[in-house]
Amino acid sequence: MAGDTPAVGASSEPHTRRVVITWAALTAIAVPLVVLLVGPHMPPGNFSVEARDQRHINTLLAALATPVLLGIWVSLLYAVVSFRSRGGGLEDGPPLRGHARTQILWVAATAAVVLGLGAYGTDELLGSAKGAGGGQGPDPLAVPRGASSALQVQVIGQQWAWTFRYPAYGAVETPQLAIPAGRLVELHVTSLDVNHSFWAIQLGVKADAIPGTDNVTFVHPRRTGTFEIRCAELCGLWHGHMHNTGVVMTPTRFAAWIRGQVVANAPATKVLPRYSTHYFPTPFRRAG
């Protein structure tokens, strides 16, 4: 009889309590493990200040995603175990007409997470991260301290290779990117032909290379070593082969390297166009 059937809200409270307790216990265990064990291995690593900032953000996002993922898994597994059909009956359970408290909690929680991440991301990009290794166009809003004395390097994308000019060293152009450790570097990214995207993976730098555009980004390498450079924008037939290897050197080694490049490339430097923030080659010179 109808009077013998417990109310849906009353019968669901023990189940809700069990799910919440299980979820809270697992979250208390999993979140510290994600931060302490997984966080240090998050990409792009710790090769530069920008990469370190991105790793911190990725760790935060993983820590916030963990309770959400656990909530889905716990709810699903609990429902499968507790509400599976027992016996031969195939009749439907009582209809659900909504649960105002659950709906309000869900909307409030998701709104708090989204708004909180928006505020945190904006503060990081314009505050300590200073653009977080992303191209900010010719007039960056987030300029790191010491930008006036940064080493300027121009990154030039062309089908299908990267070249690099050093305006402070006679605008010499080299096929390899080398920068000194411990010094702020100001990258001016542009293209000779089609749209490319300069991605120095371990440095945490990604900036679009657009013809006729000077896209500025900053990077502060923390230690010496090599890093991978790729094009992250489909740019034609050999896009997949548009990669290079950059080097972060000690300041002494970099000084010797750039002197050697100036001497070795002197004949080519004489016939190169005058250094500019962007170039407009004639169409028939383009490879694509």
Q: 111 CB contacts (<8 Å, ≥6 apart)?
A: none
pLDDT, position 287:
47
List pLDDT tens digits, range 81-99: 887 777 666 677 677 777 7
User: Domain containing 250: what range?
Assistant: 147-285
Pair 265, 175 in one domain: yes
Residue 248: closest CA among 147, 199, 180: 180
Structural domain contains residue 204: yes
Would you state the pLDDT for residue 6?
45
In terms of domains, do 151 and 223 share one?
yes
Q: List the one residue out of 149, 150, 201, 182 whose CA is nearest residue 253.
A: 182
Pair 178, 248 in one domain: yes
Grade residue 223 by pLDDT with cuts at 50, 70 and 90.
Answer: very high
Residues 160 and 275 in one domain: yes
Does residue 151 or residue 95 have the better pLDDT?
A: 151
pLDDT for residue 150:
94
Q: How many domains does the chain have?
A: 2
155, 270: one domain = yes
Tokens 């909504």 sit on residue: 98
pLDDT surpasses 80 at 7: no
Both 168 and 114 in one domain: the answer is no
Indicate which CATH number applies to the domain containing 256. 2.60.40.420
Within a domain: 93: no
